[in-house]
Amino acid sequence: MSNEVTEKVHVLIIGSGPAGYTAAIYAARANMKPVLYQGIQPGGQLTITTEVENYPGYPDGIQGPEMMVHFEKQAARMGADIRYGLATKVDFSKQPYKVEIDEEKWIEADAVIISTGASAKWLGIESEQRLNGFGVSACAVCDGFFFRGKEVAIIGAGDTAAEEAMYLAKLCTQVHMIVRRDQMRASKVMQDRVINTPNIKIYWDSVTDEIVGENKVEAVKIKNTKTNEIQQVPISGFFVAIGHQPNSDIFKEWIDMDETGYIKTIPGTSKTNIEGVFAAGDVQDKHYRQAVTAAGSGCMAALDAERYLSAKGLV
C-alpha cells in the first residue's frame, strides 16, 4: 500500500504499559493532545502478572491487569486519545515523522514516544504456560515476596539469573538453580556469590523437563542432559530468568540500539538519536524493569517532548 498520510497528530505514543500511559497522562495535561496506540498487549507485561505489591500508593496490593485499567482510565480522563492498534512500520527520515498502524493507515506526528516495552523469554513448555501467574513468574523482584519461607526454582545462567537467585535466597529456604551448561554466563563475581550462598543449589548440565502441578506449582522435574536422569524436586515457585527481548524491531533502521535491541537514550533523558523521538520504559531499560521506573521514564518522555515541541513553536 502507499504511505499516504491519513491523519496528523501532535504527539504519538506507541505502547501502553506504565511508561506509555504515564506519558499520556503528562502529555494530555500539558495540552499536547496525545494519541496512544495500545499495541499487541494493551497494558503490557503487568497484564500477565497477578498481584502487584511494590507499586507505591496501593497499601493492600493490586492485581496487575486492574492497575493497568486504572492507568488507562486516568490517561483518558486527562484527555488522551487511546486506541487499539499496532504500529507496524515507521519512517523517521524527516519531520513530521510517519508511523504505520495495523499495516493499513499512516499517521504523521510532530513528536513520537516509544514505549513498546520488552517481552520475557520463556522456555516454551506447556506446563510453564499453564501455570504462568500461578507460581510461574519471569520476575523474582516482582513476585519473590510471595514465596517467603518456601522452596523455589530458577532457570538461567546470566547476570540477571544470578542476581534473582541471590534475591530469592534472602527470602526462601532453598533456591534450586537450573543451569543448562557446566558453567554460568554470569560475571565471575556474580558466579562466586551464587556458588557461595549456602541455600542455593545448582543443577549443572540440566534443563526443565516439566513443572508439576494442577492449579499451582508443586514441583519441578529437572533433567540432566548428560545422564538423561530426571529428578523431581518439590517447590512452590518457578522463576524463568533466561532474558528479555525488547519490542524494538520496527525501529531498527532508524534508532540507535545496543547489541540486544534495547533503545539507547541520552543518559538522564528519554531522547534518542533522532530529534523529537523519545523512548521510555522497558524498551530502553534493561537494568530495572519495574512498573515504577517505567512510569517515571514515561513522565520524563512527556516532559522532554513538551520542551522539544515548545522550542519548535509547535505548542
Q: Give yes or no: 81 in active site.
A: no
Give the pLDDT score at 43: 81
pLDDT of 315 over the 80 cut:
no
91 flagged as catalytic: no
Whether residue 142 lies in the annotated active site: yes
pLDDT band at 80 (very low <50, low <70, confident <90, very high): very high
- The mean pLDDT of 236-244, rounded to a whole number, is 94
What are the phi and psi torsion angles at 118 (to 5°)? -140, 155
Average pLDDT of the chain to the nearest whole number: 94
Tell me what pLDDT residue 1 has. Answer: 46
- pLDDT per residue over 83-137, tens digit each? 999 999 999 999 999 999 999 999 999 999 999 999 889 999 999 999 999 999 9
- Catalytic entry in 139, 159, 205, 209: 139
Say what the pLDDT of residue 2 is.
60
Domains of the chain, first to last = 5-119+244-311 (3.50.50.60), 122-240 (3.50.50.60)
Q: Which of 143, 282, 285, 304 is catalytic?
A: 143
Residue-wise pLDDT tens digits, 141-195? 889 999 999 999 999 999 889 989 999 999 999 999 999 999 999 989 999 999 9
Q: Which amino acid is at 109?
A: A
**pTM: predicted TM-score of the whole model, two decimal places:** 0.83
Per annotation, catalytic residue among 110, 142, 285, 299: 142
Strands 51-52 and 62-63: antiparallel
